[in-house]
Amino acid sequence: MYIQCPPILTSNIEIHLASLQNTSMQRYCSLHKYNSMAYIYTPADLESLASHKSKKVFRNTHESFEKLLLMIQDYEFFQNSAQYKQREPAVHFAMALSRLPSNGNGAALDKMGMLFGGSNGEIALYKQHFVNCLINYEKNYITWPNFKKEKESSEVIQSEGFPGCVGFIDGSLIPVSQRPPKDGEAYFDRKKGKFSSSWWFFIS
Last residue of a domain, one of 139, 174, 195: 139
Residue 164: DSSP 8-state? T
State whether 63 and 130 are in the same domain: yes
109 and 169, same domain (yes or no):
no
Question: Are residues 182 and 150 both part of a single domain?
Answer: yes
Give me the number of domains the chain comprises.
2
**Co-location of 53 and 80 in the same domain:** yes
> Which residue range forms the structural domain that includes residue 103?
43-139
User: Does residue 5 carry a pLDDT above 70?
Assistant: no
> Is 55 strand, coil or helix?
helix
Considering 139, 157, 187, which residue would you say is the last residue of a domain?
139
Domain annotation covers residue 28: no
Same domain for 61 and 74?
yes
**Is the domain of 135 the same as that of 48?**
yes
Same domain, 124 and 150: no
% of the chain surpassing 90 pLDDT: 0
Q: What does the alpha-carbon distance between residue 48 and residue 118 come to, in Å, rounded to a whole number?
A: 19
Taking alpha carbons only, the member of 204, 188, 52 closest to residue 196 is: 188
Residues 65 and 86 in one domain: yes
pLDDT (tens digit per residue) in 115-143: 777 778 888 888 888 888 888 888 888 77
Residue 169 is predicted with a pLDDT of 72
- For position 2, what pLDDT does the model report? 46
At residue 81, the pLDDT reads 67
- Helical H runs in the chain? 7-26, 43-48, 51-58, 62-72, 89-99, 109-116, 120-136, 138-141, 147-159
pLDDT digits (tens, 9 = 90+) for 80-102: 666 667 778 888 888 888 887 77
- Whether this prediction's pTM lies above 0.85 is answered by no
d(CA 133, CA 54): 22
Is residue 134 domain-shared with residue 47, that is, in the same domain?
yes
The answer, yes or no, to whether residue 157 has pLDDT greater than 50, is yes
Which DSSP helix (H) or strand (E) runs through 188?
A: strand 188-189
Are 162 and 126 in a shared domain?
Answer: no
Give yes or no: residues 105 and 149 share one domain.
no
Handedness of CA 103, 140, 70, 78 (dihedral sign): negative
Together in a domain, 163 and 124: no
**Which whole-number Å values give the CA distances from 35 to 52, 87, 111, in the listed order?**
14, 27, 17
